[in-house]
Structure 1
C-alpha cells in the first residue's frame, strides 16, 4: 500500500517562507491575472484556483455538492498562507497532467494525486513531493489473480493519462481506458473488464465482499502539486506551506481526517467522523 512521506522529505525541500497577504473579492470563474502583495499572480482575484479531477477519494471527491479531499485541504493551506480562498475546478485529468489547463490559465495550480514524472516535468513545475504511492490491481473477489503473470489475456481497466495506464501498456497487457476512477470501478463491477489498475490507496476503499485488491505493484511514485512552468513565486509559496504544515502537525492531522490514520508523527489528530463512502461517477467528468 502507499506510504506517507516522512517529515524530513517535505522540510528539506522548503525554499522560502512567504508571509501571508490579503486578497480581493473573487468571481465564480477565473478571469484575467491578479498579482498579490507576495508577488504571486492568480488567474482570479482573491482565490487560488485549483484544477482537480474527482472522483479520486480520499484525495478529491464530491460531498454535499462541493469538491473536498486531502488535495483540496492541502492546497487550502497554501491559499490560506497567501491570504486567499481555495477554489477547486473540476477538470479532465489529461488537461491537468499535460499542463494544458495551466497554460490556458484555467487555474493556478493542479492537484489531483499527480505522480511526478520526467515527462510531466517538461510541462509542469512540481512542488516538493507530498505523498508516496504505489499501483494496485483490483479484481472481483474469488478471481485467481495473484501476480502480474495472471493478468495475461485479461482486459484491464485503466484511467486515461495515468501512470497505471502506462504500466499496463509497458507490461504488454490489454488495457481499456476510462475517464475517471468511478467509471473504471463500475466497469469492473459490470464485468466489462477483468481487473482495474490504479493507485492502490484509491482502490482500497472499494474493497468489499465483491471486490478485492489482488496485489500491489511497487513503483516508488511520489505525488506533487503542479504550477505553470516558470511560476516561481507560487512554487516557492507552495513549498513553504508544505514545510510549515509538516512541522506544525497540520499535515498529519489532515491525513488522519481523510485516511482515518495517525499519519507519520505523534502530532497527528484522529478523525472526528467516519470516512465518506467511495464515490462513483455515472457520467464522465468535464
Structure 2
C-alpha cells in the first residue's frame, strides 16, 4: 500500500530498525551459532532456537513486561517450540516487512507472529498456518469528539488514524478515508491522547486492552465494532512445509485439549463459543 503523506513515525522504532534488528529474548542467550534442526528434522535458522519475528508492542498478542516478551501469540508459539525441543527467541522488526516476508527470506527468522491477518496479497510472499484467531476491527474515539460511528466521523469531518500497513489502515482507506498512519499501536493511542486524530481503527482486542486502563476509559469510547471476517495466522518462508506442519499441529492440538482456551482466557478474555 502507498503510504500516506500524513504518516507519523515512531522515532524509537525507526531508530531500532535503522540500527538493525532489536533482539528481545524470551529465553536464554542465543547459544550455538548457525542453522540447525529441531525435533522431527524441522530446520531452524539458529541451532536450539525457534526464532520469531514480531513487532512490538501489540498487546495482548505481544508486548514487553518486566523485561520479557509475553502475550497470546508468544504463548502459542511457545507450544510449537516445546514440541520441537527448542526455545523461542523473539526479534522485534518493522511491521511492513511481514507483508513481503523479508526477514524470513533472509534467514533472520523462522516464522512471523504479529497478530497478522491472513490475506491473499500476503499469501503471495509467505505461507500461513491454519487460522488461530478470529478478529474484528474497532472504532475508538475520544469522548469529546462526539463521534458515534465511521459514518458520523466522516460527516463531521473528523480525523481518523490507523496503524501503518495493517488491515485496519486498508479498511479505512477502502471506506474513503485518508487515515493518519502511525508506526505502532503505542503511537496510535498517543495520537488519540495528543489530539492528532479524533478516532482510530484498530483490532478490537487491542482496544479491549486499552480500555482496561481507567485513564483511557475516561477519555475514549468504543463506538463501533466492525466485522471484517479477518483471521490471524503465523507465517513462514514459502515452502517451509515442515515448520508449517509443526505450527498447525500445535494449534490444532491446543484447541483439542483445552490449552488454547486457557491461553485465550489468560490474554484475551472469555472464549466465544464459535471458537471453542
Q: Which of these residues, 198, 202, 208, is aligned with residue 206 of structure 2?
A: 202
Deviations 1:2-36 (A, max 9, x none): xxxxxxxxxxxxxxxxxxxxxxx985399532123
Does structure 2 retain, via aligned residues, the 8 Å contact 1:26–1:45? no
Q: How does the TM-score come out when normalised to structure 2?
A: 0.83
Matched, 1:261 2:270: yes
| Aligned counterparts of 1:231 and 1:148: Cα–Cα separation in 2 | 41
Unaligned ranges ≥5, structure 1: 1-24, 269-286
Measured on the aligned residues, the alpha-carbon RMSD in Å equals 2.1
| Aligned counterparts of 1:217 and 1:184: Cα–Cα separation in 2 | 18
| Aligned counterparts of 1:30 and 1:186: Cα–Cα separation in 2 | 40
Match of residue 185 from structure 1 = 189
Does structure 2 retain, via aligned residues, the 8 Å contact 1:30–1:49? no
SS of residue matched to 1:145: coil
Match of residue 237 from structure 1 = 246
| Aligned counterparts of 1:264 and 1:106: Cα–Cα separation in 2 | 38
Does structure 2 retain, via aligned residues, the 8 Å contact 1:160–1:177? yes
Does structure 2 retain, via aligned residues, the 8 Å contact 1:31–1:43? no
Q: Which of these residues, 205, 217, 221, is aligned with residue 230 of structure 2?
A: 221
SS of residue matched to 1:67: strand
Does structure 1 retain, via aligned residues, the 8 Å contact 2:72–2:263? yes
Match of residue 63 from structure 1 = 65
| Aligned counterparts of 2:202 and 2:88: Cα–Cα separation in 1 | 27
Q: How do 1:29-40 and structure 2 match up within 5 A?
A: 32-40=34-42
Q: How many residues of Structure 1 are paired with residues of Structure 2 in the alignment?
A: 243
The answer to which structure has the higher helix fraction is: 2
Distance 1:26 1:192, change over 3 A: closer
Distance 1:29 1:202, change over 3 A: farther
SS of residue matched to 2:170: helix
Does structure 2 retain, via aligned residues, the 8 Å contact 1:158–1:184? yes
Does structure 1 retain, via aligned residues, the 8 Å contact 2:139–2:150? no
Q: How does the TM-score come out when normalised to structure 1?
A: 0.80
Matched, 1:211 2:220: yes
Match of residue 18 from structure 2 = none
Unaligned ranges ≥5, structure 2: 1-26, 212-216
